[in-house]
Amino acid sequence: MLDQNTLQQLRQLKTDIIESKDQGEGEVRGSQRRFGFVRMDDGRDVFLAPDDMQRVFPGDRVRVNVLTDDKGKFKAELEKLVDSPLSTFTGRYVVRGQGHFVEPDLPRFNKLLFIPPSERKKAQPGDLIHCKVQRHPWKDGKSQVKLLTKIGRPDDAFVEGKYTLCKFALPFGWPPASELQDSRADARKDVRDLPFVTIDSSDTRDIDDALYAEVNDQGWLLQVAVADPGAFIAPGSELDKAARARASTVYLPGFTQTMLPESVSQDSCSLVEGEDRAALLCTLQVLADGSIASTEFSEVLLRSHAKLSYTEVAEQMAGRAPFSQPSLAALQDAATALRSWREANSLIMPEQPDFRFTLNDNGKIAAIVREDRNDAHRLVEECMLAANRSAAEWLFTQCNDGIALYNSHAGFRPERLNSVKALIEQAMPELSGTDVTTLEGYRAVLRAATHSDSELPLRSILARMLQPGELSQEPAPHFGLGLERYCTFTSPLRKYGDLQVQRCIRACLTGDKLPLLSEEVLTGLRETLRNVRQASRQMEQWLQYQYLAEQDKDQVYEGVIAHLNGGGFTVEIKETGISGFVEARSIPVKLSFDADTLRLYNADQCYQLEQTVMVKVAELDPFQRELKFTLA
């Protein structure tokens, strides 16, 4: 037997060996091939061999030993499975030989998972299914799943919408209906005689805003009236919780998941023509130079005098038809002045076309129509931007410490700052040394990029280096718009954040306590918004790729390069907005990648953002949303 001293020495030796190892925890990341990586907590990406990758799922949290090979590259040796968040998921039922599997619809997840005979529920190859993990592969590399639900066949009518609702767990159904009452009815000012109008798409039913303007000695009195569902829906009520769980209305092709019940969003609170409606009114004094001299908020009862479409208002603004409503001329002039002020004092984002889908009886795309923005879109946009930025400034001054709910945008991603500086030195040397982490410096660079005569598409390059925006209760700049502060309250029927901002405005008007969100609720709201955006994007892409698969396989498309990296570039077809990837290795010449200017080039060729190219479809899988182009 070993004495106590020897045992202590052995324990110390074991501790020393463990401490001398390069160990740590991280998250498993998949790849396009059988191997993977572990993203360590210290930021390193450590190679995970195919055999080890068979024992884990992408997204698993693992403890690993980090080994270094002869070339100095890191390799992970699995030590312990710390956590496996994958539980339920959707996918496609496939049969390989005698084996029955699910092909998971998960990012960078490229292996099939076995479904045992007792869990197949008579599914057929190609069925779209909802599954649950029954056995993790950690011990022996063998996993098993059970089939929970057969969602449908790929050719079923509107199956893409049903599948998307299931995949992203989008809420449906509403709490028991109860009669909603306007809690602020006695406080409202009657403005039903003012000829407010709404300007929307012709088929819009959830109408959030109405406009009125008149000329005065200082410029224009602009009034933006916004539907007021917050006066009917109490914070913390069952309906409020249901709206918060949705975060926003989700516009899926053929499926609209509304944030509020249609009886509220399209009827009782919608600013329907000819009906008395409760509204929160933002009154702005716009000066001749487009600056805003004053902002007032009030609770009103109004009546929309006309429901106008973007198309008819654009015709009237162009002089091809007389103005149908008395305030349209003043609205046009006020919007023109507001835009001039923004051009001189903030930033104007480049316009992007919309693409409207016409669906057939099965919910598949029959046609895609490109719709470019017109002057009526710009008129409404200027009025909404003016109201929203004024609301942010008003809340900042009215609320204690300026705490409310803002849309913030932090500018460039920290890891791209060196590329931004290098681009400025190369293409805008007069701005070298500008601190682009400040709003003033950022505005200077973006304005210079917009008006530069450089051969490089500077504005597009810089746009690819930006962080995403997010909701914040702390006042913070919105770099993308070039504003010190910004919030949105003009879409409360469709966005929970806007509904919350309206509540903050009302609390300031009445002197009540601000209805601030907890950090947990705010974090959940951000995550839900990301989820619904991804759901909409993925379903649109699925339908687009189905549509493309029906076209002539040899057709050549004119596209524009929308993004580049070392592996190739994304091309967007001009007439349909469909995007696919051109792999650099499919181009027969060797190309180098410049991360500062986002170019792939050699001595004879160069591919860069906004460049027009002709492409053909090389590989296409609509379900996996994979499209590869080849240059024509």
Domains of the chain with CATH codes: 4-83 (2.40.50.140), 88-153 (2.40.50.640), 185-398+530-539 (no CATH), 414-466 (no CATH), 551-631 (2.40.50.140)
DSSP run (H or E) holding 303 = strand 292-303
- Percentage of the chain beyond pLDDT 70 is 97
What pLDDT score does 143 carry? 94
Whether the per-residue pLDDT at 16 is higher than 50: the answer is no
Q: How sure is the predictor about 6, in pLDDT bands with cuts at 50, 70 and 90?
A: low
Q: How sure is the predictor about 17, in pLDDT bands with cuts at 50, 70 and 90?
A: very low
Whether the per-residue pLDDT at 141 is higher than 80: the answer is yes
Burial class (CB in 10 A: 0-12, 13-18, 19+), 239: buried
User: Rounded distance, CA 55 to CA 41, Å?
Assistant: 20
What pLDDT score does 402 carry? 85
Whether the per-residue pLDDT at 296 is higher than 50: the answer is yes
- Say which residues have a Cβ less than 8 Å from residue 306's Cβ, sequence separation at least 6: 195, 197, 198, 273, 324, 325
Q: How sure is the predictor about 448, in pLDDT bands with cuts at 50, 70 and 90?
A: very high
Which residue has tokens 């690993």? 64
Each residue's pLDDT tens digit, 390-409: 999 999 999 877 899 999 99
Query: Could you please report the per-residue DSSP string of 448-477?
Result: HHHH---SS-HHHHHHTTBPPPEEESS---
Whether the per-residue pLDDT at 417 is higher than 60: the answer is yes
Contacts from 609-613 at CB under 8 Å and sequence distance 24+?
609/457, 609/460, 609/461, 609/464, 609/561, 609/562, 609/563, 609/564, 610/457, 610/460, 610/560, 610/561, 611/560, 611/561, 612/558, 612/559, 612/560, 613/558, 613/559, 613/560, 613/561, 613/571, 613/582
Each residue's pLDDT tens digit, 211-241: 999 999 999 999 999 999 999 999 999 999 9
- Percentage of the chain beyond pLDDT 90 is 90
Whether the per-residue pLDDT at 14 is higher than 60: the answer is no
Taking the CB of residue 274, how many other CB atoms lie within 10 A of it? Answer: 9
Burial class (CB in 10 A: 0-12, 13-18, 19+), 244: buried
Mean pLDDT of the chain: 94
Whether the per-residue pLDDT at 11 is higher than 80: the answer is no
Which residue has tokens 């954040």? 497
Q: How sure is the predictor about 8, in pLDDT bands with cuts at 50, 70 and 90?
A: low
Evaluate whether 299 touches 506 at the Cβ level (below 8 Å). Answer: yes
What average pLDDT score do residues 433-442 get?
97
- Give the N- to C-terminal CA distance of the chain in Å, as an integer: 79
Each residue's pLDDT tens digit, 229-274: 999 999 999 999 999 999 999 999 998 999 999 999 999 999 999 9
What tokens were used for 169? 């767990």
User: Rounded distance, CA 384 to CA 612, Å?
Assistant: 34
Taking the CB of residue 473, how many other CB atoms lie within 10 A of it? Answer: 20
What pLDDT score does 9 carry? 58
* Position with higher pLDDT, 6 vs 380: 380
User: Rounded distance, CA 587 to CA 85, Å?
Assistant: 39
Each residue's pLDDT tens digit, 33-70: 889 999 999 989 999 999 999 999 999 999 999 998 77
* Position with higher pLDDT, 71 vs 62: 62
What tokens were used for 501? 């901002």
Give whole-number Cα distances, 395 to 488, 491, 572, in Å: 11, 17, 40
Cα 385 to the center of its chain, rounded Å:
19
User: Rounded distance, CA 267 to CA 180, Å?
Assistant: 12
Say what the pTM is.
0.91
What average pLDDT score do residues 607-616 get?
97
